[in-house]
Amino acid sequence: MLSVGEIIKKQRERLNIDFNEVERAIKVRKKFLLAVEQNNWAIFSSRVYISGIIKNYSLFLGLDPNTTLAFFRRDYERQEAIKFKRRLAGYYFTPETKKAFIVVLVFIFALFFGYFGFQLTLYFSPPKITILSPKTDFFQKKDRVKILAKTEKDATVTILGERVYQNTDGLFEIEFPLKKGKNELVIEVVGANGRKAVFKKIFERNN
């Protein structure tokens, strides 16, 4: 009775397909394709790997994988003394597959370290302060101006020596007194990381 290796070999030769073509198609190295055709299971690391190769090899050659796997199980179970070598799954990759795997791995590491570096930068950076209103720096006959600003929601905001509390979105507002001439607004913000930022802006009242 034919073995699974003989069935696969005869079909490959009938189709006039060489090992290089099979290797490129199913991404399995030639030495393992040859081992399958020779029923040499000892070079594989496990039965699962052999089954996977036989299935893909059979499909490529137009054979029914259920039939070839049945032949393999019959042949395999007769060989009780097979000692499998411990190898990494990557050992079965073709050079092209290894290169693709390395590229993907490098890309994943680059993303991870890029994100980690970005988070570190955020952690060690002082908090940002954005003045949302007013849009102008010059005022006529105004004693006060409403300042609306935004910063980190967990930061501590101090203006004119007083603590100012922001909402859950980091927004806060104050009534800033204006006298004639230039008026300097100073906002001190201490982030959750302990970093301090000082924001200064001049508002001018003409009369």
- Over the stretch 119-170, which tens digit does the pLDDT of each residue have? 777 677 889 999 999 999 999 888 999 999 999 988 999 998 899 999 999 9
Span 93-109, mean pLDDT?
83
pLDDT at 24 over 70: yes
pLDDT at 32 over 80: yes
From the list 155, 165, 205, the residue with the least C-alpha distance to 184 is 205
Q: Are strands 138-139 and 196-205 parallel, antiparallel or unpaired?
A: parallel
Contact predicate 163/157, CB 8 Å:
yes
Query: What pLDDT does residue 92 have?
Result: 58
Task: List pLDDT tens digits, range 176-205.
Answer: 999 999 999 999 999 988 889 999 999 999
Q: Where are the alpha helices (DSSP H) in the chain?
A: 4-14, 19-26, 30-37, 47-61, 65-78, 95-124
Burial level of 58, CB count in 10 A (0-12/13-18/19+)? buried
Residue 117 phi, psi dihedral angles, 5° rounding: -65, -40
pLDDT at 42 over 80: yes
pLDDT at 55 over 70: yes
Tokens for 169, please give them: 């979105």
pLDDT at 27 over 80: yes
pLDDT at 68 over 90: yes
pTM of whole model > 0.85?
Answer: no
Contact predicate 197/191, CB 8 Å:
yes
Span 92-117, mean pLDDT?
83
d(CA 160, CA 115): 38
Q: How confident is the model at residue 23 (pLDDT cuts 50, 70, 90)?
A: very high
Percentage of the chain beyond pLDDT 70 is: 91
- Per mean pLDDT, which of 57-66, 72-81, 87-96 is the most reliable? 57-66
More confident residue, 90 or 41: 41
pLDDT at 90 over 60: no
